[in-house]
Chains A and B, each alone.
Chain A
Amino acid sequence: MAAVRAPGARAVLVNVWASWCEPCREEMPELLRYYRDNRARGLRLVLVSADDEEQRADVERLLAAQGFDGPAFIKHGDEMAFINGLDRHWSGELPSTFVFDGQGTKKLFWPGTITYGELGRRVGRLLAPAGKRASGAAKAADPTETPKTPSRRNP
């Protein structure tokens, strides 16, 4: 969570993926494109791999191939502790994406894959300067909010 709460971000995407998860790999270019297009607006992307330590080489190879230079982590230890540590309400479904505001408060959650367009619609308002968020920010303050049309493309 230190990577989420580190100062300097207006919004933080935490994407949980795995090297062997085909939809996870498919969505990653979309995630990275959105991140690169919006990091100047204060977006941070944190990638959390659910791979085991033995698969670290695969994880590093895939991240290098994508040219990702942000914070990346790999699962360590007990799987149930890993799931509950991220969110005790999370079922463990891969891929999944959590969205936090700049204070580290969870705002949104996506089970399944997401697209560039969905990210823009849902995360964009968190990236707006404080004075321009108004009603949109108030609506986004519900931590249980989930998009009405989540993608169901999972591994």
Chain B
Amino acid sequence: MTFAALSLAVALQMSGPLSVGAKVPAATVKMKNAADGKMISIADVTGKAGTLVIFTCNHCPFARGWEKRITELANTYSKKGVGVILVNANDPAMHDEDGLAGTQARAQSLGLQVPYVVDESSAVARAFGASVTPEAFLFDAQGKLAYHGTVDDNHRDADKVQKRYLKDALDAVVAGKVPPVPETKGLGCGIKFRNG
């Protein structure tokens, strides 16, 4: 990577995530679906009630801690009119399991019923300003960002969750309402951006 490209990448990473109300960026960028190898974009999965994009990965303790809850939310709300797509933007050179084969295996073992794609240049993650895994971006029926942030307030123990941020936001969006808490933060692993 040239110095200029590296500087640009750093600038993009530091520019912060999308603001609430923003439209879906990089919506037509095709990414490989781990389940069947087909190239799909966020635009391809857009739902009538809304669209949920979650940047996640296969090795991160936070992503692993939340993965069953993410799967449950994805499978449940995809049946309620929300288009859902999970995006792995990590460079597999850093962690083997974040490659296509590892992503396919993870999707199968979790029973994911929505696409889990590989962002092969990390371009989509950069366009969103995503920085950690997992990190959720929920767009409403009009395609505007309604919620951005973490899944809930306890990645380690689902039984101790007190604030179900993402579920509450999904319920609101499906009902055509504004999420009660539109932006949250949670600890997470840094996305291992590929040289793009």
Contacts and interface: CB of A to CB of B under 8 A. Distances in A.
Nearest to A81: B185
B187 A92 contact: yes
A92 B10 contact: no
A152 B194 CA distance: 10
B190 A93 contact: yes
Given A146-B14, A148-B6, A149-B6, A111 B190 contact: yes
A25 to B, nearest CB: 12
A21 interface: yes
A107 to B, nearest CB: 15
A91 B148 CA distance: 12
A42 interface: no
A94 B61 CA distance: 11
Contacts of B190: 93-94, 111-112, 152, 154-155
B186 interface: yes
Q: How large is the interface on B (under 10, 10 to 19, 20 to 34, 35 or more residues)?
A: 20 to 34
B187 A111 contact: no
Nearest to A109: B14
Contacts of B7: 148
A94 B186 CA distance: 11
A37 interface: no
B189 interface: yes
Interface in B131-166: 131-132, 150, 153, 156
Contacts of A111: 13, 131, 190
Query: Which secondary structure dominates chain B's binding surface?
Result: loop
A52 interface: yes
Given A52-B156, A148-B6, A80 B189 contact: no
A153 interface: yes
A20 interface: yes
B185 A80 contact: yes
Contact of A80 (B59, B60, B186): B186
A92 B13 CA distance: 14
Nearest to A54: B156
Contacts of B132: 91-93
Interface string B1-26: 00100110010011011000000000
B193 interface: yes
A78 interface: yes
B94 interface: yes
B184 interface: yes
Interface string A61-82: 0000000000000000011101
B192 A152 contact: yes
Contacts of A82: 187
A94 B189 contact: yes
A135 B3 CA distance: 23
B131 A93 contact: yes
Nearest to A80: B185
A111 B17 CA distance: 15
A55 B188 CA distance: 17
Given A20-B61, A111-B131, A150-B10, A94 B188 contact: yes
Interface of A: 18, 20-21, 50, 52, 78-80, 82-84, 89, 91-94, 111-112, 144, 146, 148-150, 152-155
